[in-house]
Structure 1
Amino acid sequence: MRLFILFNILLQAGLGIVLTKKHSLFRRQVSQLPGQLQCIQLVKDPGQYWYIAGETNTGCALFLLGGHDTRLEIEFLDFNIDCESDGLLSIIDGWEMNYELFPNLDDLPRDINKYRYCGLQRPRRKFVSSQNAALINYYTPMKGQGFSIRVKFTNNPFPCNVISIESSGTHTLRNYGLKMNCSISIIYPEVVNVLAVNIGTTSTANSIDFLQRPSWRHTSNEIEQPRNMPSLKFTSKCMTQNGGNYFELKTGDGLDPNYMIHRTKTMCGNYQRRYRPGVLLGCGNSVVRMVSNGDYYNSVTFSYQPATEAEVNSLHAGYC
C-alpha cells in the first residue's frame, strides 16, 4: 500500500476568533486568486497558495516537494491564525507522517519545533528547507481564518536527502567529502540496480579532489600528504574495513529508515559494473541510504524502477 494513503495529521482543536476588518478584506481579496489549498494537499509547483477555513475545521497539511536538486523557499504574504483560540501553523524541514520523519533526526539534526507560528502578524522571515521537501501543518479553529504563501524552488548545489515520487530514474548520492548521511526515499515498491559504488576508497586528503568539497579548509602540508588509500573492492564488511562508510537498501511502509526492518547488508568499496539482478524493495517506501564519516569522498549511483505486481505478490503475507 502506497505511503500517500497513510496521511494522519493530528493537531489540537481550539475555539473561535473574531475577524478584524483587515482580515475580512484579506479574505475577500485572496478568494479571487488561484492557488486555493485543500486541507490535505501535495504541491509540486512554485507559485502563490492560500487557505481560508470553512465551517468545519480540522488539522490540515500541505506537503511541498521539488526536484531532486532543489530547496524550498516559503514566504508568508498574509497570516491570520489566532493564538488564543489554539490556532497554530508549523513548518517542518522535511516530511512527517504517522510520527515518522524524513530525514530523521540522526541524518539531519534539527529542532522540529523551531518554526511554529500564530497571531495576526505574518512571519517576516522566509523559510528555506535543507532538501527538496517541506511540510506545513496548520489548524485554523474558526471560519475565515487562513494564510497565503509564496513558494519558490531554488537550486541546491549539494543535494543530500531527497524524496522522490517519480517511480523510475537514476540517481547518485554523494557526501562531498563531509561527515553526513544521505538518503533517497522513493514512495513506491521498487527494484533497485546498483550501477557504481565508490565508498571508503577516495580519501578527503587527496589533493586532486579537495576543490569538490564544500567549506573545505586546507594547508599546503595537508595537500602534499594524502592519507593511505585502503585496498577495498566491493564488499559487505564495511564497518570493520573502512570505519563506517557504507550504503544500504531498505524498505517499509513508514518514512523513517531507522524503523524499516527489511534491509540489505551494508556495502562499500569500489564497483563500476551493473549489478544484476536488481534488489526488490517490496513495501510502500524504498530507501537507498549512504553513511559517511567524512574521511572519504563517497558516492553510489543506482537506477530504480517500479516493482511488478507479481514481484510484490511474491513476498510472504505480512512482509511489510
Structure 2
Amino acid sequence: MEATFREQLFFIVLCLSVLNGDTRYIQENEITPEGLFSLLNSELKREIQDELIYSRPLRCLDMVALEGQFTFTADRPQLSCAAFFIAEPNRVITVEYDDVDIDCGGGDFIKVFDGWVMKGEKFPSSQDHTLPLMERYVDYCDSGTARRTVRSSQNVAMVFFRVHTAGSSFTLTVRKPVNPFPCNIISQTPEGSFTMVIPQQHRNCSFSIIYPVEIKIAELSLGHLNDFHIKKSLPGCVGAGDFVELLGGNGMDTSKMLPVADLCYNFNGPAQMKISCDNTVVRMVSSGKFVNRVAFEYRLLDRQELQRIKGNSLEDFCLTG
C-alpha cells in the first residue's frame, strides 16, 4: 500500500556517539509519525491551570511544547536519548539545568543543541546560523554552573543526554521568552500564516513547514521599488542581495534543499505554489541594507492533491514510491 503523506514525513530517533568528549556523529533510526509527532500533539493539548508550574517526567525520546519543569530519572542505562523543544514562532527557548545527578566522569552527559537535528541534518543550517556548529552544543559536564541557563536562537532546541546508571536524574526548567524579530522557525502546525520581518540585518532566515503544503505569498517588500518577478528553479535572484526563495526537500538542512522559486521584486497580491516535499521552506536572504518583509499563508495538501502533483513531471521531484 502506498504511504500516506504523514508516512512520507521524516522518521527519526537520534542515536548519539561521543568522541573525545565532543558530539561528532549523529545517526538516526526510525520512528513512526504516531511516535514523535504524537508527542507534540499530546503536548499541545495539555493546559496549564492557575499559576502552578507545569511539570512532568521527561522521556528518553520526547517532544516538549510547553513551559515547565521536566525531570528525567533513569530506570536503566540510557545511552541515546534526545528531547525536542519547540515554541511558538515568535518565541525562543531557554533551558535551565536543575538538580543534576549524573556521572560526568563516567561518560554521562547532557548537551543542549541550538536548533534541531533530524535525519543527520541540522536546522538552522550552518549557512543560516550565527554560531559555528560546535559552539551550538552546550555540555553541562563542560560548563556546569558556569552556564546554568542556555538560550536558543530560534523557536526550537534539543537536549541530548546519556546516563549509564539507574537512578541518575536531572530536571530541566523550560521557558519561552518573546523574540521580537523571529528568524529561523519550525512551524508547529501544517496550516497557518506568518509575516517575517528582517530589520536591516545581514542574515538569512527560514520558515520551515515539515509537511507538503500550498504556500500563498500575500506580500513581499524588499526595500526597493521593482515589480514582482518569479523565476521557477532559476538562479535569477542570487545577485539581487535581497530575495526570498521557496525550497523543497525531504531533509532539514536548507543548503541541501531544492530551489522551487525565487522572488526578488516587490509584490502585493496572492501568488501560490504547491510543494509536495516533506519539508517546505520560505527563506529570506537579506543584505542588511533594507527592511525586508514577506507575508504568507500555508495549508496542508490532501492526498488527492499529492496524487495530481505526482503526475506532473515538473513538480514531483520530492515524491517517492
TM-score range, shorter chain: 0.7 to 0.9
CA deviations on 1:180-217 (whole Å, 9 max, x unpaired) are 1111111111110111111241xxxxxxxxxxxxxxxx
Higher mean displacement: 46-55 or 122-131: 122-131
Q: 1:94 aligns with which of 104, 107, 115?
A: 115
Determine whether 1:256 maps to 2:262.
Answer: no
In the alignment, which residue of structure 2 is the partner of 1:133?
A: 156
- Does residue 280 of structure 1 match 2:301? no
Q: Which digits, 9 at most, give the CA deviation of each residue in 1:117-146, with x for residues without a partner?
A: 228965653111111110001111111112
Number of the residue aligned with 2:241: 244
Once residues 218 and 143 of structure 2 are traced to their aligned partners in structure 1, the CA distance between those partners, rounded to angstroms, is 53
Deviation at 1:37, TM superposition (A): 1.0
Q: Which amino acid aligns with 1:133?
A: V
8 Å Cα contact 1:77/1:148 also seen in 2:
yes
Aligned match of 1:198: 221
Distance 1:124 1:273, change over 3 A: closer
SS in 1 for 2:255: helix
CA offset digits 1:147-190 (Å, max 9, x no partner): 10111110111111111121111111221111111111111111
**How many Å apart are 1:295 and its aligned residue?**
1.3
- Say if 2:14 is the partner of 1:11: no
Q: Distance in 2 between matches of 1:132 and 1:319?
A: 26
Contact 1:92-1:112 at 8 Å conserved across structures: no
Instruction: State the distance in 1 between where 2:87 and 2:242 align.
Output: 28
Q: CA shift at 1:52, angstroms?
A: 1.2
Contact 2:69 2:171 in 1 (8 A): yes
Residue 271 of structure 1: which of 267, 270, 282 is its match?
267
Residue 164 and residue 120 in structure 1: after superposition, are their counterparts in 2 closer, same or farther (change >3 A)? closer
Q: How well do the aligned residues superpose, as a CA RMSD in angstroms? A: 2.3
Matched, 1:233 2:227: yes
Q: For 1:195 and 1:165, locate their aligned partners in 2 and report how far apart those are by CA, in whole Å.
A: 21
* Residue 297 of structure 1, CA deviation: 1.3
How many residue pairs are counted as aligned between the two chains? 267
Q: Per-residue deviation at 1:283? A: 1.7
* Alpha-carbon separation, structure 1, partners of 2:201 and 2:105: 45
Give the unaligned 5+ runs of structure 2.
1-6, 20-53
Q: Which moved further from structure 2: 44-53 or 103-112?
A: 103-112
- Equivalent position amino acid for 1:310 in 2: Q
The equivalent residue for 1:153 is 176
- SS at 2:11's partner residue? helix
Once the two structures are superposed, residues 18-66 of structure 1 have per-residue CA deviations (whole angstroms, 9 ceiling, x without a partner) of xxxxxxxxxxxxxxx9410111111000000010112242311110011
Q: Report the 3-state secondary structure (helix = DSSP H, G, I; strand = E; otherwise coil) of the residue aligned with 1:35.
A: strand
User: Structure 2: how far apart are the matches of 1:318 and 1:7?
Assistant: 25
Alignment check: 8 A CA contact 2:247 2:280 kept: yes
**2:262 aligned counterpart, secondary structure:** coil
2:288 partner amino acid: G
CA distance in 1, matches of 2:275, 2:71: 37
**Matched-pair contact (CA < 8 Å) for 1:246–1:267:** yes
Query: Which amino acid in the other structure matches residue 311 of structure 1?
Result: E
The letter for the 1-side match of 2:127 is D
| TM-score using structure 1 length | 0.77
Partner of 2:90: 69
Task: Tell me which protein shows more strand as a share of its residues.
Answer: 2
Structure 1: any 5+ residue segments left out of the alignment? 14-32, 202-230
Letter in 2 for 1:94: G
Q: Which residue of 2 aligns with 1:55?
A: 76
SS of aligned partner of 2:199: coil
Instruction: Answer whether contact 2:14 2:81 (CA < 8 A) is retained.
Output: no
How far apart, in 1, do the equivalents of 2:132 and 2:238 lie? Answer: 29
2:199: which partner in 1?
A: 176
CA contact (8 A) 1:78 1:122 kept: no
Q: What letter corresponds to residue 36 of structure 1 in structure 2?
A: P
Report the 3-state secondary structure (helix = DSSP H, G, I; strand = E; otherwise coil) of the residue aligned with 2:304.
helix
Larger Rg: 1
TM-score by length of 2: 0.77
Could you say what secondary structure the match of 1:301 adopts?
strand
**Alignment pair present for 1:297 and 2:303:** no
* Structure 2: distance between partners of 1:256 and 1:265: 17
